Amino acid sequence: MTFPNARPLTEEDVQLVELATRTIDAQTDTTTVDQDGIHTVGAAVRTDDGRLHAGVNLSHFTGGPCAELVALGSARAAGGRVVTTIVAVGNHGRGVLAPCGRDRQVLADYHPGCRVIVPGEAGTTGEHLRSVPIGDLLPGAYRASFAVEADAPQA
């Protein structure tokens, strides 16, 4: 899929991908990609103060949280209020994953100015990756009046 405002990754973006990769590589609980596991995706976010925060998913039949939501919570718990960039990476070398619909809606609601690192048309790693504004991933998103934090920059 082509996104109108996609751009190549910066060095800071690459560092974020590396953190998400290291996080899931250290925390995955499966030995092969075809196994079900509790922790199969890692995510990392950068906040507007430049700090990086990571998280892993928690798979559960009740709909456990995605890695992106855990990373957002980790950032907030550490005092980060405005997320500027986010990425998710699959275990066992699956590379960068695009966020699910729920994560896209959460990002659009609470961090409308953030960018998301996504796979490019030709692959999930390296030079194929792109950084896109969350609005490109969820055009025409539902907007609740309560959703946007007062200190979040608008896209």
Q: What pLDDT was estimated at residue 55? A: 98
Listed in sequence order, the residues at least 6 apart from 15 whose beta carbon sits closer than 8 Å to its beta carbon are 52
Q: Cite the active site residues.
A: 68
State phi, psi for 138 to the nearest 5 degrees.
Answer: -145, 65
**Which amino acid, 76?**
R
Q: What pLDDT was estimated at residue 77? A: 98
- How far apart are alpha carbons 61 and 125 in whole angstroms? 29
How much is the mean pLDDT over the chain? 90
Superfamily of domain 11-137: Cytidine Deaminase, domain 2 (3.40.140.10)
What are 136-148's pLDDT values in tens digits? 999 887 777 666 5
What are 31-84's pLDDT values in tens digits? 877 777 899 999 999 999 999 999 999 988 888 899 999 999 999 999 999 999
